[in-house]
Amino acid sequence: MKFAHIADLHIGKRVHDFSMLEDQRYILDQMLGIFVEQEVDGVLIAGDVYDKTVPSAEAVQLFDEFITRLAKEKIPVYMISGNHDSAERLSFGAKLFESSGIFISQVYNGEMKRIELEDQYGPVSVYLLPFLKPATVRHALQREDINTYEEGVVAALQECEIDRLQRNILVAHQFVTGANRSDSEETSVGGLDNVSAEVFEGFDYVALGHIHRPQKMGRETLRYSGTPLKYSFSEADHKKLVTIVELLEKGNVEISMVPLVPMRDMRKMRGTYMEVIAKESYTAENKMDYLQITLMDEEDVPGALQKLRTVYPNLMRLEYDNKRTRENREVQAVEAQEQKSELELFGEFYELLNNEPMKEEQAEFVEKLIQDLKEARA
């Protein structure tokens, strides 16, 4: 049984205020062609279908066209929600879609969705585990001992009885410890969202989403497919692809990669203003790419952004790297840290972790705790 593994479509995303919808339509068309050419038996979509929990009408329309075309090609879809998705919105009409071969994870209620398939080698179970936070699992299972992401995922997996004698696939959207991240991903301070690879040992293949660089995590069969497009300049060197997974008899999994070619690449250029302008002659075929240009002139070039965009229309970002900017960055970094109180720093940490600011009574408690610690050290 052969599957295509994709994730992190982020449909509707804007990068440096440039809409990526046209590029996303182009790459979705390309992926559909790959699925047909590879004669896959299903597509695993490992979360972050949309870039926002409330996607635009244009984003919803584009994804609707994509899964409708998959249904017309009779290619089943096994899809979960990611941290950028609204699980409630993504799963709307899920039971109705199943008649067309579109299987979507439900809002987590203590059970994982399981789809049973069969081929010449026997049964295959596909499990759909949407992005989980500890509080979600704690509430669903009525367990007060779940405080970390790993504890939440472990508890969710323990609730389903996995027959390890048959072949099992898991589609999940979590951060596995050790994965290489990119600037375009949401992160938790201190690695609090980490889940160890050992958690997923019971599965023959784990189709992961959340990390934007394609990579394996320890074993060949525990993989991030990565995004189909580059969504930040930290990804400029990434090779985007579709992961093809073929399950043969139990214990025999073959994996291959099919490269994706974007409508417009994302590249970095560096040099003085005159050097960058001169590069036009030998980058003419690529001048429609999305660019980050770093000028190394010691003095700012008046109107540089507008002038450069007459040559490179999709210049997304312009910055300077010279003695002045390097000194400013160092000073700003030091001043920013020095000017914040312990309470402010803790408040930022709390908000990153919980997606909401501390309540007044919580702030008062933390402030008293900080004061007590200072007095104890005095």
Residue with tokens 């417009």: 264
pLDDT value of residue 333: 47
pLDDT at residue 372 is higher than 70: yes
As a whole number of angstroms, the distance between CA 76 and CA 100 comes to 8
As a whole number of angstroms, the distance between CA 140 and CA 137 comes to 5
pLDDT at residue 17 is higher than 60: yes
pLDDT value of residue 278: 82
pLDDT value of residue 356: 63
Longest alpha-carbon distance in the chain: 73
> pLDDT tens digits for 156-213?
999 988 999 999 999 999 999 877 777 766 655 445 688 999 999 989 999 999 999 9
pLDDT value of residue 346: 81
Higher per-residue pLDDT: 45 or 374: 45
Cα separations (Å) of 307 from 271, 293, 301, 302, 312?
Answer: 15, 12, 10, 9, 9
pLDDT at residue 22 is higher than 80: yes
pLDDT band at 342 (very low <50, low <70, confident <90, very high): confident
The mean of the pLDDT values for the chain is 89
User: Long-range contacts for 278-286 (Cβ within 8 Å, ≥24 apart)?
Assistant: 280/311
pLDDT value of residue 283: 58
Higher per-residue pLDDT: 173 or 333: 173
pLDDT value of residue 8: 97
Give the predicted TM-score (pTM) of the model: 0.83
As a whole number of angstroms, the distance between CA 160 and CA 222 comes to 19
pLDDT value of residue 149: 92
* 337 phi and psi angles, rounded to 5 deg: -75, -40
6-22: average pLDDT: 97
As a whole number of angstroms, the distance between CA 12 and CA 33 comes to 21
Question: What one-character-per-residue DSSP string does 37-101 give?
Answer: HHT-SEEEEES--BSSSS--HHHHHHHHHHHHHHHHTT--EEEE--TTS-HHHHTTTHHHHGGGT
| Helical (H) or strand (E) element with 292 | strand 290-295
What are the residue boundaries of the structural domains of the chain, listed by start?
Answer: 2-259, 266-325, 340-377
Higher per-residue pLDDT: 75 or 180: 75
> pLDDT tens digits for 248-283?
999 999 999 999 999 999 999 999 999 998 876 555
Higher per-residue pLDDT: 222 or 327: 222
pLDDT value of residue 334: 47
pLDDT at residue 238 is higher than 60: yes
Out of 3.40.50.300, 3.40.50.150, 3.30.70.980, 3.60.21.10, the CATH code matching 2-259 is: 3.60.21.10
The residues, ordered by sequence, that sit 6+ positions from 308 with a Cβ below 8 Å of its Cβ are: 273, 276, 277, 293, 315, 318
pLDDT band at 353 (very low <50, low <70, confident <90, very high): low
Question: What one-character-per-residue DSSP string does 232-243 give?
Answer: SGGGTT---EEE
Percent of the chain with pLDDT over 90: 74
289-299: average pLDDT: 93
Contact 185, 232 (CB under 8 A): no
pLDDT at residue 335 is higher than 50: no
> pLDDT tens digits for 114-144?
999 999 999 999 999 999 999 999 999 999 9
3-state secondary structure of 209: strand
Higher per-residue pLDDT: 93 or 242: 242
Cα-trace Rg, the chain: 24
